[in-house]
């Protein structure tokens, strides 16, 4: 496995399609300099599996350490994530 590029805090797992999921989270310590700490991002597709705090997940171009999982997401935030997936689902790698 490659070296960890960043840590995701307050993350949630969202199913996409074809046995994959993405993770929404607040990025921290991005060693590649793509994002400022605290920026909310989502990963590219990850093969479906159980994940928990402290796990490392690898996407096509990045490796993330999963920090604290978000437990109290409001319905409006869920809807925003779902709307984004519907609008941009063609861009996910399958």
Tens-digit pLDDT string for the chain (94 aa): 689 999 999 999 998 878 899 999 999 999 999 999 999 999 999 998 999 999 999 998 899 999 999 987 554 555 556 555 555 555 544 3
pLDDT score for 90 = 52
The residue to which tokens 């063609």 are assigned: 90
In angstroms, the CA 13 to CA 67 distance is 13
In angstroms, the CA 8 to CA 37 distance is 10
pLDDT score for 94 = 39
pTM of the model: 0.74
The residue to which tokens 């399958």 are assigned: 94
Read off the tokens for 7: 């840590």
DSSP string for residues in 43-64: ---EE-----TT-EEE-SS-EE
Read off the tokens for 52: 């928990």
In angstroms, the CA 37 to CA 61 distance is 19
């Amino acid at each position: 496995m490659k070296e960890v590029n960043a840590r995701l805090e307050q993350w949630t797992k969202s199913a996409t399609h074809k046995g994959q999921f993405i993770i929404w989270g607040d990025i921290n310590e991005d060693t590649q300099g793509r994002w400022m700490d605290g920026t909310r991002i989502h990963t590219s597709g990850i093969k479906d599996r159980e994940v928990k705090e402290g796990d490392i997940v690898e996407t096509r171009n990045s490796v993330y350490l999963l920090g604290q999982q978000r437990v109290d997401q409001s319905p409006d935030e869920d809807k925003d994530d779902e709307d984004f997936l519907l609008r941009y689902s063609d861009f996910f790698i399958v």
